[in-house]
Amino acid sequence: MRTTKLLATAGLLGASALTALLGAGTAFAGSGDSGSSGDDKAPTEAGTSFRTAQEVEQGRRATAGASTGDYLYWSFPADAGQRPTVKATVKLPDSAARPSGATWRIDVYDGLRRRQSCMYGTQSRAAAPDATSVDLSCTLRTVRAWSEQWANDPLPGTYYVRLTAATLTPSDQGLPVSAEVEVTSKEVGGSSAVDGSLAAPLVPGSTTKEAAAASDDSSDEENGSQAGQALATGEPEDGWSSGWWSDRWVWTAAGGILAALAGIGGYALTRGTGRPSRVPPGM
């Protein structure tokens, strides 16, 4: 009877502990949600180079007016464990002035300006003659907290989106278009977690800014201005985690608790329920 009660108590404690741990894991995962508050406004223009890329938060839709042939740049932050998806929509002009057979394309670069490949999505698409818009998308690989120097894995830091018309005829140059870009992320969790982390996220411009501040030349002010343009200040809502948290912590702790409960249950089953009989004296 005592053994049954002990096992039942251990089972209840184990279930409660697992529920608490899984709830904590969900809370931590939810803290990295790409959505943001509605106080900040999304940009209504785009940059024309990496240095002038407009920063956009994940979960917000950036808009811009441009002309065919322009290169449009935006930047966004992505942290370890996230799998970003970039969606872009190009709204074409009236049919009378619509580009004939133009092919639109989006490319994503990391903080080192390395082009990142898309896992899936329509990265390039030709506009149909009767189309009023062109939809593009690119889902990146999961951002890793650490990687080998020779690898091209996505790492925490700033990412750049470039939208442009890849093929145009001379008559299509300069026609007005409008563009919309939105970045969302899926929290992948411990299935893609790795040991190790970067000393700092790949945010371009920080080294340039420090060098400009330490310089005593007469061009300090000009260099500082350029550094300020190059510096990307965007970061996740809760700051950079650098991969310190993943749901592997939850499952590791849950495995330890289950192992301890199994040990208690095994001891209760094997120790016996009766008292050892005394041996009469002289036997």
Q: What is the distance, to the nearest Å, from the Cα of residue 198 to the centroid of all Cα atoms in its chain?
A: 15
pLDDT 10s digit of each residue in the chain, 283 long? 455 554 455 555 555 555 555 454 444 444 444 444 444 578 899 999 999 999 999 999 999 999 988 999 999 999 988 999 999 999 988 765 666 678 999 999 999 999 999 999 999 999 887 888 999 999 999 998 888 888 899 999 999 999 999 888 787 788 899 999 999 999 886 666 676 778 888 888 754 444 445 444 444 444 444 444 445 677 777 777 755 556 666 777 888 888 888 888 888 888 765 555 565 666 5
Cα distances (Å, whole numbers) of residue 185 to 140, 200, 211: 10, 21, 34
Supply the pLDDT for residue 97.
Answer: 60
Supply the pLDDT for residue 17.
Answer: 53
Supply the pLDDT for residue 213.
Answer: 52
At the topology level, CATH places domain 33-240 in Jelly Rolls (2.60.120)
Question: Which residues, at least 6 apart from 28, have a Cβ–Cβ distance to it below 8 Å?
Answer: 245, 247
Supply the pLDDT for residue 222.
Answer: 45
Strands 54-55, 115-116: pairing kind: unpaired
Structure tokens belonging to residue 55:
């920063």
Supply the pLDDT for residue 151.
Answer: 87
| Whole-prediction pTM | 0.70
